Chains A and B, each alone.
Chain A
Amino acid sequence: MKVPPAFRSTKGILGTAIVLIVLSIAILAPILIPADWATRMDMRARLSPPTWAHPMGTDQLGRDLMFRVLLGAQTSIFIAAAAVLMSIVIGLPLGLISGYMGRTTDNVLMRLVDTLLSFPALLLALTISAILGPNLQNTIIAIGIAFTPFLARIIRGEALRVAQMPYVEAARTAGNSDLRLITLHILPNIMPAVIVQATISLAFAILAEAGLSFLGLGTQPPDASWGLMIQASRDYLDRAPWTALVPGAAVALTVLGLNMFGDALRDALDPRTRGAA
């Protein structure tokens, strides 16, 4: 297979490498490392700085930060991926219908989407999370719903653009049904944009999960998630800065990788927007 030029750039290579590494940690760590290594406590080694026994130090309950950050990868990434998937599943049909049908349907749907967009996504997620109660599944729903209006808006724009293209017009005059037009002609043509958007949303979803956990509404202790780890470090910042730095670096690296990967993906799939932010 030919590697698209975009992925031969430093950005593309680095991004792909980071994403692959983080993904394999998320998948392999729970298999290779016993789950209780992330929750095992040692009251004699509380807030220990990095040592040979604990290469990344320990937290306030003497738990090993390296194991916590490795095992936490799965939680953070799973939540983010599931939430983005959910927002696509809801946002895709909404955006497609709105963009394709136009007129009143478009007006009504987009008015609703615009209204929802006036609520900051984190505020929306926070409120939904407060309504549903804090657990893994509800965190996914909260982030998923909060991201939906944004995705719907982007998909609608794409659908609108594609629907006006000559070949779609031609297919329409040839007597194809609406459903056929949408699924066979429009959908495949907007998929590149959707995939690029999904990658970027994934980065945002990881940040959102961290934010929610930071406010106590995401992942539940003693399970490790990066946001939860940063939250727990707050009271020990000046004594033990590594408790914040370790999970913070994990979030930063993952999001950085996803962003670079997303950029490269955009350049490769969607030459029209090459170079755009």
Chain B
Amino acid sequence: MSYILNRVFSMMLTLFLISAITFAVTNILPGDVAMMIMGTQSNPEALAGLRETLGLNDPLLVQYGRWIGGMLTGDWGSSLVFKEPIAPLLVQKMTASGLLVLFSMAIALTCAVPLGVWAAVHANRWQDTAASSTAMLGVSLPDFFWGIMLILLFARGLGWLPSSGFVDPAEDLGAAIRHALLPSLALGLGLMAHLTRMTRATMTGILKQEFIRVARAKGLNEGTVVWRYGLANAVGPVMTVAGLQVGYLFGSIIVIESLFNYTGMGWLTYQALLNRDIPLIQASVFVIAAVVMLANLIVDLLYAVVDPRIRLS
């Protein structure tokens, strides 16, 4: 229990650090949003007026105070370029990206775990070589290249799936899934390869351990040994790696969502960055970092629950 409390306290501290870093970094971005709103139609007087209206002329500390205060009281402000309130926008875009992350995680795990176990069971035989080489190729291709291949094959070539766009699951669940499928695959293939390698390595280690030998000696059926005893012990480490990959996924979605015109968090953050829409950059970067941190925390806590050492004792 104290372990959990400790973790939660340290999370609060990290959150605060994240907010400070986010604020500091976004404020040294060159250029400003007033210019972006007006574009090439702008002139100095109008720019000055707009800057004042947007509160860009206040001292930094005042802006930080206003931001932190707003975040704590649930007032996340409005995007300067798009004039949309930020909080509902983030909820909407996080849902979109959450769909991608969940899908790609599901795709990756359902394929990677059996494949990795299979390779480990047949360690150093052709099955292992085949699985390992495929996985190696998988981690070597950039995910946007996977994306391009998938578009060429499934959207342009076969015409099975849409190559771009986002549909709100609340509006049309079927269409939402169809639109999320290709970007999720693009994200998931690399991840799958990585997790396959991880599962194989962990399982190879476990299968050499004493308790497996004991289980086999007891005359237990090989399937039970591998899947019940072996895999149970591999779940922890594999899950930890999977959890750590959430951060990697949230980096990849920037490129993938831009490629698929999938308007989620990655797309939003990139747009905000391009537009120097400071409140939107701050909020979205903060939320991404917080989600990544939370994912890692959850994995840590789950790990404490399923830790094989705790189980065996």
Contacts and interface: CB of A to CB of B under 8 A. Distances in A.
A247 to B, nearest CB: 9
A252 interface: yes
B307 to A, nearest CB: 19
Nearest to B291: A118
B201 A255 contact: no
Contact of B285 (A119, A238, A275): A119
Interface string A206-225: 01001100110000000000
Contact of B137 (A116, A203, A252): A252
B152 A238 contact: yes
Given A122-B254, A123-B288, 11 more contacts: A119-B18, A119-B289, A123-B254, A126-B273, A211-B142, A237-B151, A244-B145, A244-B152, A255-B139, A259-B139, A277-B200
Given A115-B18, A117-B247, A248-B148, A126 B254 contact: yes
Interface string A175-215: 00000000000000000000000000001000100110011
B18 A230 contact: no
B28 interface: yes
Interface of A: 11, 111-112, 114-123, 126-127, 130-131, 133, 203, 207, 210-211, 214-215, 230, 233-234, 237-238, 241, 244, 248, 251-253, 255-256, 259-260, 275-277
B140 A118 contact: no
A251 to B, nearest CB: 6
B205 interface: yes
Given A112-B17, A230-B145, A259-B140, A120 B156 contact: no
26 contacts: A111-B13, A118-B247, A120-B249, A120-B254, A120-B288, A120-B292, A121-B247, A123-B269, A131-B29, A131-B30, A214-B144, A233-B148, A234-B259, A237-B156, A244-B145, A248-B141, A251-B142, A251-B145, A255-B141, A259-B136, A259-B139, A275-B205, A276-B201, A277-B197, A277-B200, A277-B202
Interface in B275-312: 285, 288-290, 292-293, 296
Interface in B136-170: 136-137, 139-142, 144-145, 148-149, 151-152, 156
Interface of B: 10, 13-14, 17-18, 21, 25-26, 28-30, 136-137, 139-142, 144-145, 148-149, 151-152, 156, 194, 197-198, 200-202, 204-205, 247-252, 254-255, 258-259, 269-270, 273, 285, 288-290, 292-293, 296
Contacts, number: 132
A118 B273 contact: no
Contacts of B285: 119, 123, 127
B280 to A, nearest CB: 13
A123 B22 CA distance: 12
A214 B259 CA distance: 10
Contacts of A127: 25-26, 29, 273, 285
Nearest to B17: A115
A112 B24 CA distance: 14
B205 to A, nearest CB: 7
Nearest to B274: A130
Given A111-B14, A126-B254, A127-B285, A207 B142 contact: yes
A259 B139 CA distance: 9
